[in-house]
């Protein structure tokens, strides 16, 4: 039986976490992709290497990613699939457990490894332990930790595109609107470099110090919970156990102490830099390069130095 991947997209391109999910799905069987929304996104999904079929629907009920109609559709499609996967994005985490319960299956959340068709690795306790679990359910419903799987390329495949069957819309919730910040910067979970600021930034204005360095490096901007709670950075910038999980080539933590909940979101980065005025800060225990100093002095110097060739 094939495996089905629920695709996240921006209306045209497929997100990088989705491409990582396809990589995880390939370990389980032939991959089909479900694309809800713009036809351009279905065409993008059809080009993913390893995807052999794209199911597409642009029905209005799926336009805003509401969990209720999408879970109903997944349940309708489930008989044809052994595994249903989605990236562990805000959308995937919202929809997949609902679909799993409708199928009477225990969802496998945020897997970081595929051992075999029934056995998966998933982090627990903020990644302080890795559990290998075997599911006895006939069908597996899974969300995938994108940072743990190298994404498949965006092109190279040529899948057929078919219309997805229509499922009933339970009509339980209504989309009122959204405040989505469109940024020119790379997406946090896909970026090669991430620069994050913590409570020490002190204000939203000062947070521009982080953004400015990020722009010089072509990096994404992240934040600790404390910085988000204080309103210095938007909520979707939060890196950590209950925010986004990132594993870039370079992670620069500025004025972040390194609480376990923050480390949970970034400790798999390849190279970690910590800039903190407290030499005892726990962040230094995971940092490859630590610089003890006042960020307000260090960061302008850092920005100037990376500007020099």
Partner 1 sequence: MKLLVPVKRVVDYNVKVRVKADGTGVETANVKMSMNPFDEIAVEEAVRLKEKGVATEIVAVSAGPAACQEQIRTALAMGADRGILIEHDGVLEPLAVAKLLKAVVAKESPDLVILGKQAIDDDMNATGQMLAALLGWPQGTYISKVEAADGGLKITREVDGGLEMLQLRLPAIVTTDLRLNEPRYASLPNIMKARKKPIETVKPADLGVDVSPRLTVVKVEEPPKRQAGKKVGSVQELVEKLRNEAKVI
Ligand X SMILES: Cc1cc2nc3c(=O)[nH]c(=O)nc-3n(C[C@H](O)[C@H](O)[C@H](O)COP(=O)(O)OP(=O)(O)OC[C@H]3O[C@@H](n4cnc5c(N)ncnc54)[C@H](O)[C@@H]3O)c2cc1C
295 binding partner (options ligand X, partner 1, none; Cβ < 5 to 8 Å by kind): ligand X
262 assigned binding-site residue: yes
C-alpha R_g of the chain: 20
Residue choice 11, 60, 179, 184 for contact with partner 1 (CB under 8 A): 179
**Dihedral sign computed on CA atoms, order 198, 199, 201, 206:** positive
Distance CA 46, CA 157 (A): 7
Which pair of tokens denotes residue 58? 């642009």
Residue 115: partners with Cβ closer than 8 Å, 6 or more residues away: 121, 132
Q: Nearer Cβ to partner 1, position 48 or 252?
A: 252
98 assigned binding-site residue: no
Kindly report the number of other CB atoms within 10 A of residue 248's CB atom: 25
Residue choice 17, 157, 186, 198 for contact with ligand X (CB under 6 A): 198
For position 154 contacting ligand X by CB under 6 A, the verdict is: no
Phi/psi region, residue 192 (left: phi>0; alpha: psi -120 to 50; beta: rest), is alpha
Residue choice 40, 59, 101, 117 for contact with partner 1 (CB under 8 A): 101
32 binding partner (options partner 1, ligand X, none; Cβ < 5 to 8 Å by kind): none
Q: Nearer Cβ to partner 1, position 40 or 126?
A: 126
Which of 2-10, 83-91, 212-220, 292-300 is the region at the interface with ligand X (rule: CB under 6 A)? 292-300
128 assigned binding-site residue: no
Q: How many angstroms from the chain centroid is the CA of residue 160?
A: 27
For position 133 contacting partner 1 by CB under 8 A, the verdict is: yes
For position 246 contacting ligand X by CB under 6 A, the verdict is: no
Distance CA 60, CA 120 (A): 35
Q: What angle do CA 243, 189, 251 make, to 5 degrees?
A: 90
Residue choice 104, 184, 205, 280 for contact with partner 1 (CB under 8 A): 104
| Interacting residues with partner 1 between 247 and 276 (CB under 8 A) | 249-250, 260-261, 267, 270-273
Q: Give bridge partners of residue 113 from the DSSP assignment.
A: 121
| Interacting residues with partner 1 between 18 and 57 (CB under 8 A) | none
Residue choice 18, 109, 196, 257 for contact with partner 1 (CB under 8 A): 109
Q: How far is the CB of 144 from partner 1 (least distance, A)?
A: 13
Which pair of tokens denotes residue 219? 């990096």
For position 11 contacting partner 1 by CB under 8 A, the verdict is: no
For position 241 contacting partner 1 by CB under 8 A, the verdict is: yes
Distance CA 145, CA 88 (A): 6
Kindly report the number of other CB atoms within 10 A of residue 106's CB atom: 15
Residue where the block lists tokens 């985490």: 93
Distance CA 72, CA 168 (A): 7
199 binding partner (options partner 1, ligand X, none; Cβ < 5 to 8 Å by kind): ligand X
According to DSSP, residue 7 is labeled P
For position 201 contacting partner 1 by CB under 8 A, the verdict is: no
Annotated binding-site residue numbers for FAD: 199, 224-225, 238-242, 255-262, 276
Q: Which residues bind ligand X (CB under 6 A)?
A: 198-200, 224-227, 238-243, 255-257, 259, 261-262, 265, 276-278, 281, 294-296
């Amino acid at each position: 039986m094939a495996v089905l991947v629920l695709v996240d997209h921006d209306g045209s391109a497929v997100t990088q976490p989705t491409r990582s999910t396809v990589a995880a799905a390939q370990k389980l069987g032939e991959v089909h992709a479900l694309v809800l929304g713009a036809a351009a996104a279905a065409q993008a999904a059809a080009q993913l290497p390893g995807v052999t079929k794209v199911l597409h629907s642009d029905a209005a009920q799926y336009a805003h990613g509401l969990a209720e109609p999408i879970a109903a559709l997944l349940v309708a499609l489930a008989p044809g699939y052994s595994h249903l996967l989605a990236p562990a994005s805000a959308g995937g985490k919202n929809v997949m457990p609902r679909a799993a319960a409708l199928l009477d299956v225990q969802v496998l959340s945020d897997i970081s490894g595929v051992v075999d068709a029934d056995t998966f690795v998933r982090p627990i306790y903020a990644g302080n332990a890795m559990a290998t679990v075997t599911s006895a359910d006939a069908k597996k419903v899974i969300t995938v930790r994108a940072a743990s799987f190298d994404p498949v390329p965006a092109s190279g495949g040529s899948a057929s595109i078919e219309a997805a069957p229509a499922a009933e819309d339970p009509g339980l919730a209504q989309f009122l609107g959204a405040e989505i910040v469109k940024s020119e910067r790379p997406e946090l979970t896909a970026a090669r470099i991430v620069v994050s600021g913590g409570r020490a930034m002190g204000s939203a204005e000062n947070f521009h110090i982080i953004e400015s360095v990020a722009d010089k490096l072509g990096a994404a901007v992240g934040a600790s919970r404390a910085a988000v709670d204080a309103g210095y950075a938007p909520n979707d910038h939060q890196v950590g156990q209950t925010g986004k999980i990132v594993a870039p080539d370079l992670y620069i933590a500025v004025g972040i102490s390194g609480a376990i909940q923050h480390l949970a979101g970034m400790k798999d980065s390849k190279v970690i830099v910590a800039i903190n005025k407290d030499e005892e800060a726990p962040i230094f225990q995971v940092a490859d390069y630590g610089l003890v100093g006042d960020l307000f002095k260090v960061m302008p110097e850092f920005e100037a130095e990376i500007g020099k060739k």
